[in-house]
Structure 1
Amino acid sequence: MNTDQLNKLSGDLYNLMLYLHNKIFHPNDVIKNLPIPPSHVKVIIYLARCGISSISDTAKKLGISKSNMTPIIDKLISEGMLNRSNDPNDRRVLRIELTDKAHEFIKTQENAIKASLAKKISSLNSEDLEALSEHVIGITDIILKVE
């Protein structure tokens, strides 16, 4: 694929991202219904994907300063969403992991988002829904190959 084709495709992907953001999945709609701040949700989502992590690695990956990370972690622990423990190989390292309550929180939020998405696309006719389904599967398969 030549440079012009790559530039056109990247522009098309950018436009798709904006359309998804504006018409289908607007992050502000999700954030306003959450019972905890977005920074706390970022930590929960990160840990859901990576499992147990050190506090410093989590802060670094999420771009949160260590001084801001401490109150976030403390609040999530007090809410019963995280467990904190010492690393068995290095006592200086504190590790955090999600509790069952946090996993349930994620499942609840995921179900709410899916219901909202279903409501938004329910106005499409069956042919459009079928085409959208096929394209989403195809795009997902391709995107997963991107490094």
Structure 2
Amino acid sequence: MDKQIYDEMIENLYWAFPLLKTKLVKPFDKEEKEKENDLTGTHMTILFMVKEKGSICISEIGKHLGICKANLTPLVQKLIDKSYIERFVDDKDRRYTFIKLTSVGEDFLDNKRYKVQEFLKQKVSDLSEADLMTLSASVAGLREILMKIK
């Protein structure tokens, strides 16, 4: 592949991720912190992983996030203390501990998703319809391609 294509792609990625963070993520996080939400991004990632999988082994979360068990335990415990998840042991092999969302956790994530959607709608409301279509297609394409990267 042409070196110029790689260089352009890397340059675009170099600028895209910080822009996403400063334009969308940080303003939302700031708004949420003002509402005294004491969960970190890692807590939210754990919750979204559990929602996606239904139930997940704690060690699998650690491997995916690159977090050792000693650091993962207090993160999971905080979510248990908030009644967002519950822990259970595999009946077939008691060495494996799993977690799953509770109804409180489901409601919390549904509410969070709604808040994010409303925030993002407001942030992009000044864009033209053509820009919105371009943004939507670009994000969908980026997601599709990123899923292919090993």
Q: Fold-level match, TM-score > 0.5?
A: yes
Unaligned runs of 5+ in 2: none
User: Once the two structures are superposed, what CA deviation does each residue of 1:46-65 show, in whole Å capped at 9, x if it has no partner?
Assistant: 21233322222222322333
Q: Which runs of 4+ in 1 moved over 6 A?
A: none
Which ranges in structure 1 are unaligned for 5 or more consecutive residues?
none
34 and 104 in structure 1: CA distance in 2 versus 1, 3 angstrom threshold: farther
Check whether the contact 1:82–1:96 (CA below 8 A) recurs between aligned residues.
yes
Q: CA deviation at 1:112?
A: 0.8
Matches within 5 A, 1:6-17: 6-17=6-17
TM-score (norm 2): 0.78
Q: Deviations over 1:14-43 (max 9, x none)?
A: 212222222233364366256232142232
Q: How does 1:23-102 map to 2 (within 5 A)?
A: 23-26=23-26, 28-29=29-30, 32=33, 33=35, 35-38=37-40, 39-102=42-105
Give the Å deviation of 1:130: 3.6
More deviation, 126-135/94-103? 126-135
Aligned CA distance change for structure 1 residues 4 and 68 (closer, same or farther; 3 Å)? same
Q: How many residues align?
A: 147
Equivalent residue letter for 1:36? D
Aligned to 1:121: 124
Query: Secondary structure at the residue paired with 1:88?
Result: coil
Distance 1:126 1:5, change over 3 A: closer
TM-score by length of structure 1 reads 0.79
CA distance in 2 between counterparts of 1:80 and 1:22 reads: 31
Instruction: Give the aligned CA root-mean-square deviation in angstroms.
Output: 2.5
